[in-house]
């Protein structure tokens, strides 16, 4: 029997026995026989991932049998799109091609997926990955309702589209304490959740816009792709239109920019595609992009509002950040009533008065920023820069750029320290976000980092608005934080100037807190990227009795204060040093760093004679020029990484 038929047979057979066992409690085969069939199926699926069925019992919810995440080759590569930033450039692009008919589609801000169907069933779902092969996300995507598991088409087809999280769902998650920066990150996070049933609860949506490989289909245009997709019950965007002339293109850009704030999903631009496939084929591809399509990116939205007040926030290190309080305005889909003013130099350069009209922009679609003062009314009043800490009243120290509160036990600083400690990049204590920290602090449960480990959960439950489930989650996640690495703990302590990367380097070099605490300035400076000022900072942090107490309390609570020897990384890259520059298609920079260090590589912070390899992505920075000048560094392109790692394929 060929593998496909055998897989189909085993899936159906196992499903039947599952149902006999669970639903009818009348099993017809022994557990052992069941296990043997299942093992055979797992083996066949691993060898023939193209025949993996989304409804296979190996992929089931709650099952601990899910196959490990593997890569699968795309049959047709998945390209990305080149960007244009003005409507005039879109018109130029179109004229250069000879003014063909274009499809115009919203550019969804989610992540692209590839769904492979064969014989009417979804066989697997993959991410775009590096364009040639993607990560197998069948198990999690199989839980998403918007992904059709069965279609009418009987041949083979790769269907492509975007999975995204609606804004409303994103807001729901944020208000229940999840710390995602934007819906896109939240969507990616949901698809990588270990607990697949959670993915189902996240209300992910999808919109489809292209096909990769197809066998028997007759498709000659982008318009026909949409026809096919609709016929097969794939959701396609109702906002798609076709352009025949310049006015159509300009009108569409205007219309989408206008409506996008009201949509329940984020779009960051418009995709223009040549409609006719014959012309598409003639134009072909560059190494990265199709020559027959372009993405037009919307300009960041600007709005004018009134400056009502300036609030002065006290940060973890005591630095004061001025924050503008504004008359609420809608920008890029959310209501903005606060905007950062960064520091006092920036604040002075804007020459603001309370009551001024100010122009603001949402940069990177996340943090609103004031770009200029617009108009001054007669009633507006000049700023009164604070002389004392707004929270503890200590007299502020003014430098050239910053003002700061020098009171080490300023309650605001303590709150920020707690927030930092519990944040995602540090100990990642879910359920201990800024709101919860504030509530617990107000009620006397939390003041210092170490208090997190002696919380009285019974009493917390008695507080208003504390649900049993969330208090339980908090407890679990506090427990889980005890196994977070030494580097994360070090980062979480919030030593001024010690970011996540420096914390890794420190943990790597000193191995345990004892050796780090007794390290001298010179020892510290021998670590890559640590200069004299940072070294002094670290020494004085450990010399402070309050900090020593925090550390000893955390040690008592069972947190990791040494590099667990199991985690000493030996691998293919042991003894080699790395740096990366630019953007990567298959990885975030953090993922890539993790991959390198997980294989024993050492990550440096600057280009120096010590550097062996520089991994170069798209749009590399000055590191590349430096490395080339040195002449001793091996330059590795993203595509060559798999060879370096000795991988058959990139994961
Ligand atoms: S077509 C060869 N259409 O944008 C054409 N992409 O910057 C490949 N995207 O990787 C893509 N909406 O994740 C296409 N209507 C749309 C899209 C779209 C969003 C994403 C997709 C792609 C990225 C390229």
Three-class SS of residue 265?
A: coil
Residues 630 and 607: beta-carbon distance below 8 Å: yes
Instruction: Single out the residue of 179, 169, 167 nearest to residue 200, CA to CA.
Output: 169
Burial 527-547 (b: 16+ CB within 10 A, else e): bbebeeebbebbbebbeeeeb
Query: Does any ligand 1 atom lie closer than 6 A to the CB of residue 169?
Result: no
**What pLDDT band is residue 45 in, cutting at 50, 70 and 90?**
confident
Q: Which of 77, 79, 80 to mutate to test the pocket of ligand 1 (most atoms within 8 A of CB)?
A: 80
List the residue whose alpha carbon is closest to atom 12 of ligand 1: 107
Q: What is the side-by-side order of every strand in the sheet holding 111-118?
A: 121-127, 111-118, 156-164, 205-214
- In this structure, the residue with its CA closest to atom 11 of ligand 1 is 80
Q: Residue 141: is its pLDDT beyond 90?
A: no
Q: Distance (Å, rounded) from C-alpha 493 to C-alpha 542?
A: 11
Q: How confident is the model at residue 64 (pLDDT cuts 50, 70, 90)?
A: very low
- Of 64, 51, 16, residue with least CA distance to 196: 64
Lowest mean pLDDT among 82-86, 364-368, 525-529: 364-368
Between 26 and 633, the higher pLDDT residue: 633
Average pLDDT, the chain: 86
Q: How far apart are the C-alpha atoms of 241 and 251, rounded to whole Å?
A: 11
What average pLDDT does this structure show over 367-380?
83
Q: Going by CA atoms, what residue is nearest to atom 10 of ligand 1?
A: 80
Q: What is the mean pLDDT of residues 207-216?
A: 93
Active site residues: 107
With cut-offs at 50, 70 and 90, classify the pLDDT of residue 31.
Answer: low
- Give the DSSP H or E segment for 313: strand 302-314
φ and ψ at 536, to 5 degrees? -60, -45
Query: What local confidence, expressed as pLDDT, does residue 32 receive?
Result: 58
210 Cβ closer than 6 Å to some ligand 1 atom? yes
- Residue 304, pLDDT > 90, answer yes
Q: How far is the CA of 624 from the centre of ligand 1 (A)?
A: 29
> From CA 398, how far away is CA 622, in angstroms rounded?
34
Q: Does the pLDDT of residue 598 top 90, yes or no?
A: no
**Does position 416 have pLDDT exceeding 90, yes or no?**
yes
297 Cα to the center of ligand 1, angstroms: 12
Q: What is the pLDDT of residue 650?
A: 42
Q: How do residues 466-505 score in pLDDT, each as one tens digit?
A: 788 888 889 989 999 999 999 999 999 999 889 888 899 8
Task: Please state, in angstroms and as integers, the Cα–Cα distance from residue 23 to each residue in 20, 34, 523, following that order.
Answer: 6, 16, 65
Mutate which of 77, 84, 105, 107 to test ligand 1's pocket (most atoms within 8 Å of Cβ)?
107
Model's pTM, two decimal places? 0.51
Higher pLDDT, 394 or 366: 394
pLDDT at 123 > cutoff 60 = yes
Give exposure, 204-223, as e/b (b: 16+ Cβ within 10 Å).
bbbbbbbbbebeeeeeebbe
Give pLDDT tens digits for 517-576: 999 999 898 887 788 888 999 999 999 999 999 999 999 999 999 987 644 456 778 888
Q: Binning pLDDT at 50, 70 and 90, where does residue 68 land? A: very low
Per-residue confidence band for 246, with pLDDT thresholds at 50, 70 and 90: very high
- What sign has the CA pseudo-torsion 52, 53, 54, 56? negative
Any residues with CB less than 8 A from the CB of 27 and at least 6 apart, and which?
A: 17, 20, 21, 34
How are beta strands 357-363 and 302-314 bridged, if at all?
A: antiparallel
Mean pLDDT for the stretch of residues 17-31: 61
pLDDT in tens, 381-396: 888 889 999 999 999 9
Predicted local distance difference test score (pLDDT) of residue 62: 29
Lowest mean pLDDT among 60-74, 129-143, 343-357, 500-514: 60-74
User: What are the CA-CA distances from residue 396 to residues 310, 388, 428, 627 (Å)?
Assistant: 16, 5, 32, 44
């Amino acid at each position: 029997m060929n593998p496909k038929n055998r897989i189909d047979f085993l899936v159906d057979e196992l499903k039947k026995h599952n149902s006999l066992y669970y639903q009818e409690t009348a099993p017809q085969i022994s557990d052992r026989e069941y296990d043997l069939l299942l093992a055979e199926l797992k083996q066949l699926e691993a060898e023939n991932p193209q025949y993996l069925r989304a409804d296979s019992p190996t992929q089931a919810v709650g099952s601990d049998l899910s196959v490990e995440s593997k890569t699968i080759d795309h049959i047709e590569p998945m390209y990305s799109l080149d960007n244009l930033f003005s409507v005039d450039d879109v018109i130029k692009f179109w004229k250069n091609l000879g003014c063909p008919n274009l499809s115009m589609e919203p550019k969804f801000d989610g992540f692209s997926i590839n769904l492979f169907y064969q014989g009417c069933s979804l066989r697997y779902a993959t991410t775009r990955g590096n364009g040639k092969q993607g990560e197998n996300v069948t198990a999690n995507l199989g839980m998403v309702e918007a992904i059709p598991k069965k279609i009418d088409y009987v041949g083979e087809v790769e269907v492509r589209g975007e999975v995204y999280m609606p804004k409303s769902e994103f807001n729901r998650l944020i208000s229940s304490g999840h710390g995602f920066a934007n819906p896109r990150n939240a969507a990616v996070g949901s698809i990588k959740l270990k607990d697949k049933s959670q993915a189902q609860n996240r209300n992910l949506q999808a919109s489809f816009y292209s096909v990769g490989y197809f066998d028997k289909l007759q498709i000659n245009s982008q318009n026909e792709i949409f026809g096919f997709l609709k016929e097969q019950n794939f959701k396609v965007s109702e906002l798609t239109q076709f352009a025949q002339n310049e006015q159509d293109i300009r009108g569409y850009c205007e219309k989408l920019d206008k409506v996008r704030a009201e949509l329940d999903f984020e779009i960051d631009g418009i995709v223009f595609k040549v409609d006719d496939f014959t012309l598409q084929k003639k134009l072909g591809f560059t190494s990265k992009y199709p020559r027959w399509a372009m993405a037009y990116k919307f300009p960041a939205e600007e709005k004018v509002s009134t400056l009502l007040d300036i609030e002065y926030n006290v940060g973890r290190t005591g630095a004061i950040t001025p924050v503008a309080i504004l008359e609420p305005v809608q920008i890029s889909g959310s209501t903005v009533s606060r905007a950062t003013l960064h520091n006092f130099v920036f604040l002075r350069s804007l020459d603001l008065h309370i009551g001024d009209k100010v122009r603001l922009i949402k940069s990177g679609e996340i943090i609103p920023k004031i770009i200029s003062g617009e108009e001054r009314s007669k009633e507006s009043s000049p700023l009164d820069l604070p002389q004392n800490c707004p929270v503890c009243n200590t007299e502020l120290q003014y430098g050239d750029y910053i003002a700061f509160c020098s009171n080490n036990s300023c309650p605001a600083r303590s709150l920020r320290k707690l927030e930092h400690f519990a944040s995602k990049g540090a100990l990642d204590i879910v359920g201990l976000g800024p709101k919860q920290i504030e509530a617990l602090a107000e009620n006397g449960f939390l003041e210092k980092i170490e208090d997190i480990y002696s919380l009285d959960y019974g009493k917390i439950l008695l507080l208003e608005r504390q649900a049993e489930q969330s208090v339980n989650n908090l407890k679990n996640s506090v427990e889980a934080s005890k196994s977070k690495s030494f580097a994360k703990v070090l980062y979480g302590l919030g030593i001024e100037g010690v970011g996540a990367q420096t914390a890794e380097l420190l943990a790597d070099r000193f191995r345990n807190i004892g050796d780090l605490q007794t390290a001298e300035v010179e020892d510290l400076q021998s670590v890559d990227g640590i200069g004299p000022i940072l070294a002094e900072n670290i020494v004085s942090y450990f010399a402070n009795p309050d900090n020593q107490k925090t550390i000893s309390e955390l040690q008592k609570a069972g947190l990791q204060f040494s590099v667990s020897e199991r985690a000493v990384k030996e691998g293919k890259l042991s003894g080699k040093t790395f740096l990366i520059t630019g953007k990567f298609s298959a990885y975030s920079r953090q993922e890539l760093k993790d991959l390198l260090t997980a294989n024993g590589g050492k990550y440096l912070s600057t280009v120096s004679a010590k550097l062996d390899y520089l991994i170069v992505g798209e749009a590399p920075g000055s590191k590349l020029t430096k490395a080339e000048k040195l002449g001793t560094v091996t330059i590795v392109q993203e595509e060559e990484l798999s060879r370096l790692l000795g991988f058959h394929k990139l994961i």
